[in-house]
Chain A
Amino acid sequence: MAERRHVRRPPLLPVAIIVVFVAVAGLAGVASPADPYAQHLRARLAPPIWSEGGAWTHPLGTDRLGRDLLSRILYGARVSLAAGVVTVALAGAIGGGVGLVAGYFGGRTGALLMRVTDATLAFPIILLALLLAVTVGPSFTNVVVAIALILWARYARVIYGEVVSLMERDFIAQARAIGASPARIIAFHLFPNTANTLIVLVSLQVGYVIIVEAALSFLGAGIPPPTPAWGSMIAEGRDYITSAWWVSLFPGLAILLVVLAFNLVGDWLRDVLDPRLGQF
């Protein structure tokens, strides 16, 4: 199995795309031609420069409130990437923690935690996020927390499975024999052995989170305006796909590139780090 996979080189283009977008996110403040929040209602839906009527003041045109689209996409990189990364990190922490604890202690604790995990998995993702958004009102934090509160269960399942099989291995028995505390065993023996899996799972879902956020925006429960997030920009722009296509197309392209890049890198990481992990 290893022989066919070790030949895989890191996917250069996707990595480059991610690097570029991360840089853009970091430099949005410097690189943006305009304030992404500044409205100019009279200059709304201005086309990009290469179209008739376009001007350098707004290279990619403006949105429905006359805000500079390029600046919003640049700042949006910050928001959307942060949303993706923070969400999976949070979900990874919860899911990893639950999986480790449930796997280590087993018995009633493990069974109960796994039932909670299953219940979460049975909860339709978008509906739970909608319920939470409606309850606490949509905001960056709430959207991140809402998505993380569902995603963790997938990680918990997989990690739990790994830990259960690790528990039967000799080195755990030895650690126990010399009187290592549960916390120590989890932190120094179990966690390092499941970290790869977790990294793969998490990296595979950054893109997914960005897409889920967009879907929530479409339903009115995503990261709300005026914060520039790609998802809400596409959702807002959908009414203009025939008259002002640029409003949704450019953020759409940004999402497309980033999500594809993350998914390809995640695929590659899986092959390198944890080839046993199939589809989960």
Chain B
Amino acid sequence: MRRFLAVRLVQSLTTLLLLSLAVFILARATGDPLSLVLPMAATEEDYTNARRYLGLDRPLPEQYLSFLAKAVSGDFGTSLRARRPVNELLRERFPNSLKLAAFSMTVSLLVAFPLGVAAAVRRGTMVDTVAKTVAGLGQALPTFWVGIVLIEVVAGRLQWLPAGGTGGLAHYVLPGFTLGWFVLAGLMRLLRSSVLDVLDADYVRTARAKGASERAVIWRHALRNALIPVVTFAGVSFAILVTTAVVVETVFAWPGMGRLAYEAITGRDFPVIQAVVLVTGAVVAAVNLTVDVLYVWIDPRIRYG
């Protein structure tokens, strides 16, 4: 176990190292941030000064190493656009992302469970088709369109819920639902097939043969077994949700990490781009690692990597 943990840890760190290199190169490939930071009338000399001041005149390998060394100690430098420490921006945005992702994940799980179980138990029937369609629609419609229609109808016409921005719980409903619906299909499909697998397993047949009610079979056996893959998937999706919510964050004016990254990319704000990608990469890696360790903990036969 200890050896497995060590190996996985080294693997995760290597992954993050590669990620840091990739984002360092990609961020610089996007172009020159200076023409955006400096006034239009800036002369060549102003550019040279600014380049020196921002440390952009040093050789690339040197820049990379200094970025890496600082990042390890949790310092991501200063935003070129906001002229504020990147950490400050992350502190403002990250909790918002986390909260929204948590809310949408909860919504998604709450819907996926009854839907997935119903679809499995009534497989091949209308119930199954309807459940799959409801879940599938979330992935078949662009999220921005779903969001905009919800805003127009629920916030604009019915005036039931706030249209955008952060605030009390009511502010979570529309963006959370939009995002949750997108994840729903995956969760539902997974639950359905897990339940199906378990329903066909020998021990369940035995239980059934012993006269256990169908309901008891599903709740006692099927769901318990389905939990592991569902939790895994939920964990990984959660990590992804935190960052890929750019579109939903834009539509609902939600100041999260995705929007931060988007603003950084359009503003060629290298330090912020690097920080967002590395932080999310670290979150994904941490979730994956935890899931792997949990797996091995539960079932020591599993080994992969």
Contact = CB atoms under 8 A, between A and B. Distances in A.
Interface of A: 1, 3-4, 7, 111, 114-116, 118-119, 121-128, 130-132, 134-135, 161, 164, 207-208, 211, 214-215, 218-219, 231, 234-235, 238, 241-242, 248, 252, 255-256, 259-260, 263-264, 267, 278-279
B284 A238 contact: no
A123 B240 CA distance: 9
Contacts of A267: 132, 189
A127 B246 contact: yes
Interface stretch (B13-21, B37-45, B75-83, B203-211): B13-21
18 contacts: A7-B124, A119-B15, A123-B19, A123-B277, A123-B281, A124-B240, A126-B244, A126-B247, A130-B246, A131-B26, A131-B27, A134-B30, A135-B30, A215-B247, A238-B144, A252-B145, A278-B229, A279-B186
A211 B140 CA distance: 7
Contacts of A259: 139-140
B122 to A, nearest CB: 13
Nearest to B278: A122
B285 A219 contact: no
A124 B265 contact: no
B245 to A, nearest CB: 9
Interface residues of B, number: 62
B103 interface: no
B137 A256 contact: yes
B142 A279 contact: no
Nearest to B185: A263
B145 A279 contact: no
Contacts, number: 153
Interface string B238-279: 001001101100100000001001100110000001001100
Contacts of A218: 142, 144, 247, 250
- Name the residue in A118, A238, A248, A260 with the highest tally of chain B Cβ atoms < 10 Å from its Cβ: A118
Contacts of B63: none
B46 interface: no
B139 A4 contact: no
Chain A interface, DSSP helix/strand/loop, else mixed: helix
B55 interface: no
A111 B10 CA distance: 11
B77 to A, nearest CB: 18
Interface of B: 11-12, 14-16, 18-19, 22-23, 26-27, 29-31, 123-124, 132-133, 136-137, 139-145, 148-149, 152, 185-186, 189-190, 193-194, 196-197, 200, 229, 233, 240, 243-244, 246-247, 250, 258, 261-262, 265-266, 273, 276-277, 280-281, 284-285, 288, 304-305
A140 B288 CA distance: 33
A164 B304 CA distance: 9
B18 A116 contact: yes
Contacts of B273: 131
B248 to A, nearest CB: 10
**Nearest 6 CB-CB pairings of A with B:** A119-B18, A259-B140, A214-B142, A122-B281, A124-B243, A279-B190
Contact of A255 (B14, B140, B149): B140
B285 A234 contact: no
A260 B186 contact: no
Nearest to A204: B189
B30 A279 contact: no
B290 to A, nearest CB: 14
Contacts of B136: 260, 263-264
B246 A126 contact: yes
B304 to A, nearest CB: 7
A1 B261 contact: no
Contacts of B280: 122, 124
Contact of B233 (A111, A135, A231, A279): A279
A93 to B, nearest CB: 21
Contacts of A124: 240, 243-244, 258, 261, 277, 280
